[in-house]
Amino acid sequence: MGSRHVSGYAALQRIGLSNVDLVAVCDIKLENAESVARQAEELLGKKPTVYQSIDDAIKDPAIHAFDIVTEAFSHLEVALPALRAGKHVLCEKPMALTVRSCQAMIEAARSTNSVLAVAENYRRDPPNRLVKALIEAGLLGHLHLLNQSFIGGDDHIIITPWRHQKHRGSIALDICCHYTDIVQYHLGEIESVYGESFIAEPVRRRRETPEMDLPSYWARLKQMPEKIVPDCEDSAIGFFQLASGAKSTLSYIPSGPGKREFQRSFHGRAGHLTMEKDRTGGIVEFTGEKGAIRTDELQRLIPSFELDEVTSRLFDGKVSYTLPFAQSDAALMAIEIYDFADAILTNRKPEVDGEQGMKAVAAVLGIFESSAIKRPVTMEEILTSKVSAYQDSIDEELGLLK
Ligand SMILES: NC(=O)c1ccc[n+]([C@@H]2O[C@H](COP(=O)([O-])OP(=O)(O)OC[C@H]3O[C@@H](n4cnc5c(N)ncnc54)[C@H](O)[C@@H]3O)[C@@H](O)[C@H]2O)c1
């Protein structure tokens, strides 16, 4: 992800709206830091300083902010010292593995008045921006349901072995937190959660080729064991009750070869709206009494809708775009990086602050907790850690259980 974020910095620079200087990179594996530093030099024209320890990086007065792109389980150990030292933090999703960890990060940011932002990239995709505007304009009428599912896959290790270890960040949390952010972005606060999480593939094997054709992904693949036995859920099915009265379902099961099905559809009294997978620039379609209307026409229904300047420049002003994945991926990173730096420079809240990042994590943990105790759980119970049976062993290891 470090390498992909560098492409985000480069995309910002390319459109002439860069508001941030990448002055250093840090990784406990020196070769990874060196490789990202070389990529940064190539793309940004300046080689960043290389650090191998967060403590050394924190001492560097040239560094005002940290962009945390490390494994999910390490977000806490990297963010806390940085925030406590008064540095601002942009943290990759999932913000952390437990609610207590997220709370500790929020508290650290508050104590030094630092900006804490979470890199939720899917919501920044132009089709999601349009859909939010359409919902706010009342196109769907009374909203009943948001249906999301991403089903199908195989028994390969998904991206990294650590994503199949509970104490390092399960793939179900890793992926579903994207979708719970989307639920809350479009529909507002979640009130309660009911669900089940489970292991769909008890043994996972190394892939022949990586998920993305990037040097960093090839390098990582070479270091993977041939097979692993996951100790945590790779799948989750959840039902969310929203404060607005709307409901949402989420199914993520990365197993079962054949068609890999993605669905995001909104159902209201006035019609329904469908979207294609995030980061593809796919069509948004509304079907109501008068038939189907697609992206461009939908945009004309709300003349006040416009993409912000950074998004518009990165996507050529288009909501439905056709760009290579690496380019749209980098563009979404660029938008979140710009928003983070702008929040620091103009002393405002970032679009996704610590509270919002925590709620995306909490909603997924709500499924896991509900599955563990076999009853629906309220977000209040999750956010105050009144219900935490699933998370307790992780918090114990992190020293967060009092
Ligand atoms: N937003 C997205 O679309 C998206 C996509 C992929 C990954 N991610 C997120 O990015 C994060 C990283 O994922 P990844 O697949 O790149 O992981 P990875 O395991 O490939 O890379 C993590 C890097 O962090 C380094 N690291 C670990 N602990 C460290 C520490 N304490 N200090 C400094 N460096 C440390 C490791 O050495 C490694 O180089 C995760 O939170 C993941 O969920 C987000």
Tokens 């859920």 map to which residue?
233
Label each residue of 168-215 as H, E or C: HCCHHHHHHHHHHHHHHHHHCCEEEEEEEEECCCCCEECCCCCCCCCH
Residue 131 has pLDDT above 90, yes or no: yes
Mean pLDDT confidence for 335-354: 98
CA of 133 to the centre of ligand 1 (A): 32
2-15 as b/e: b if 16+ CB within 10 A:
bbbbbbbbbbbbee
- For residue 165 and ligand 1, the question of a CB distance below 6 A is answered with no
Query: Using an 8 Å Cβ cutoff, are 190 and 156 in contact?
Result: no
Question: Span 141-159, mean pLDDT?
Answer: 97
- The atom of ligand 1 lying closest to the CA of 29 is 37
Is residue 34 lining ligand 1, measured as CB closer than 6 Å?
A: no
Q: Which of 343, 353, 331, 349 is nearest to 9 (CA)?
A: 331
Residue 94: the pLDDT is 98
Helix (H, G, I), strand (E, B) or coil at 52: coil
Q: State if residue 27 touches ligand 1 by the CB under 6 angstroms criterion.
A: yes
Q: Is the pLDDT of residue 402 over 80?
A: no
Answer yes or no: is the C-beta of 174 below 6 A from any ligand 1 atom: yes
Q: What is the pLDDT of residue 216?
A: 82
Report pLDDT for 74.
Answer: 97
* Ligand 1 binding pocket mutation candidate from 69, 157, 332 (most atoms within 8 A of CB): 69
Range 34-48 average pLDDT:
97
Amino acid at 225: P
Write phi, then psi, for 14 (nearest 5 degrees): -60, -35
Res 77 pLDDT > 90: yes
CB of 214 closer than 6 angstroms to any ligand 1 atom: no
Atom 24 in ligand 1: which residue has the minimum CA distance? 70
Q: State the pLDDT at residue 189.
A: 98
Give the mean pLDDT of 393-402: 93
Asked whether the predicted pLDDT for residue 71 surpasses 90, the reply is yes
| 374: CB partners within 8 A, 6+ apart | none
What would the two tokens of residue 38 be?
Answer: 């070389």
CA 271 – CA 80 distance, rounded (Å): 46
Residues whose CB falls within 8 Å of the CB of residue 227, separated by 6 or more in sequence, listed in order = 157, 203, 204, 205, 206
Closest residue by Cα to atom 16, ligand 1, is 1
Q: From atom 27 of ligand 1, which residue's Cα is the shortest distance away?
A: 70
Q: Is the CB of 251 under 6 A from ligand 1?
A: no
In which band, very low, low, confident or very high, does the pLDDT at 202 lie, cut at 50, 70 and 90?
very high
Q: Is 26 in the pocket of ligand 1 (CB under 6 A)?
A: yes
What pLDDT score was predicted for residue 217? Answer: 87
**Mean pLDDT for all residues in the chain:** 97
* Residue located nearest, by CA, to atom 39 of ligand 1: 32
Instruction: Note the pLDDT tens digit of each residue in 226-285.
Output: 999 999 999 999 999 999 999 999 999 999 998 899 999 999 999 999 999 999 999 999
Confidence of residue 214 (pLDDT cuts 50, 70, 90): confident
- How far the first Cα of the chain sits from its last, in Å, is 33
Written as one letter, the residue type at 306 is: E
Share of the chain above pLDDT 90, in %: 97
d(CA 31, CA 83) in angstroms, rounded, equals: 26
H/E stretch holding 250 reads strand 247-253
28 close to ligand 1 (CB < 6 Angstrom): yes
Q: Is the pLDDT of residue 220 over 90?
A: no
Looking at the CA of residue 2, tell me the nearest atom of ligand 1.
16
Pocket probe mutation, ligand 1, options 5, 35, 53, 71, max atoms within 8 Å of Cβ: 71
Reply yes or no on whether the pLDDT at 348 is more than 90. yes
Measuring from atom 7 of ligand 1, which residue has the nearest CA? 1
Flag whether pLDDT at 211 surpasses 90.
Answer: no
Give the pLDDT confidence score for residue 213 in this predicted structure.
Answer: 85
- The pLDDT, as a whole number, for residue 113 is 98
What is the CA(92)–ligand 1 centre distance, in A?
Answer: 8
- What the block records as the tokens of 228 is 């692993």
> Would the pLDDT of 316 be above 80?
yes
User: Ligand 1 centre from 107 Cα, in Å?
Assistant: 23
* DSSP state string for 138-160: TTT-SEEEEEEEEE---SB--S-
267 CA → ligand 1 middle, Å: 36
**351 C-beta closer than 6 A to ligand 1:** no
The yes-or-no verdict on residue 384 having pLDDT over 80 is yes
C-beta separation of 314 from 281 below 8 A: no
Question: How many separate helices (H) and strands (E) can be counted in the chain?
Answer: 14, 16
For the stretch 200-203, contacts whose Cβ atoms lie closer than 8 Å and that sit 24 or more positions apart, written own/partner, are 200/234, 200/235, 200/253, 200/254, 200/255, 200/256, 201/153, 201/154, 201/155, 201/230, 201/234, 201/254, 201/255, 202/229, 202/230, 203/155, 203/227, 203/228, 203/229, 203/230
| Residue 20 neighbours by CB under 8 Å, 6+ apart | 9, 12, 65, 337, 338, 340, 341
Q: 234 phi and psi, to 5 degrees?
A: -110, -5
pTM for the model stands at 0.97
**pLDDT band for position 169 (cuts 50, 70, 90):** very high
Out of 25, 36, 90, 92, give the residue to mutate to test ligand 1, the one with the largest number of ligand atoms within 8 Å of its CB: 92
